[in-house]
Amino acid sequence: MKLIIAIVQDQDAHSLIEDLTEEEFRVTKLASTGGFLKGGNTTLLIGIEDEKVDDVVEIIERNCKTREITTSLLTVSMPGDTYIPYPLEVKVGGATLFILDVEKHIRI
């Protein structure tokens, strides 16, 4: 068995979960925060049989889009700890996936 940890953008999470459950995959959704943009994103835990990994990755590819985001990060630029915001273009990926081997899966 494998566990896919998928970090996706909030905008894509709803349709992705719909498609996964429609195809009988089980999903747990966690609200998460990106360390760089400090904005909300969604982390999905998807436990699946080894041979289903490609199917799940295909569903994720179909639902998750790369987007250019302009954000204003705060930076120290002046003496005396004055913070000024500056615009920054960041390309946020469709999804970041970690695929792990599951040693044991138990349902009680």
Tell me which residues touch ligand 2BA (CB under 6 A): 7, 21, 24-28, 34-37, 41, 45-47, 90-93, 96, 107
Query: And the tokens for 48?
Result: 């699946």
Residue nearest to ligand 2BA (CB): 34
Chain centroid to CA 47:
15
Query: Is the Cβ of residue 84 or residue 88 nearer to ligand 2BA in the bound state?
Result: 88
Query: Is the Cβ of residue 91 or residue 104 nearer to ligand 2BA in the bound state?
Result: 91
Q: Which helix (H) or strand (E) holds 101?
A: strand 95-101
Query: Is the Cβ of residue 45 or residue 79 nearer to ligand 2BA in the bound state?
Result: 45
* Pairwise CA distance, residues 16 & 7, whole Å: 12
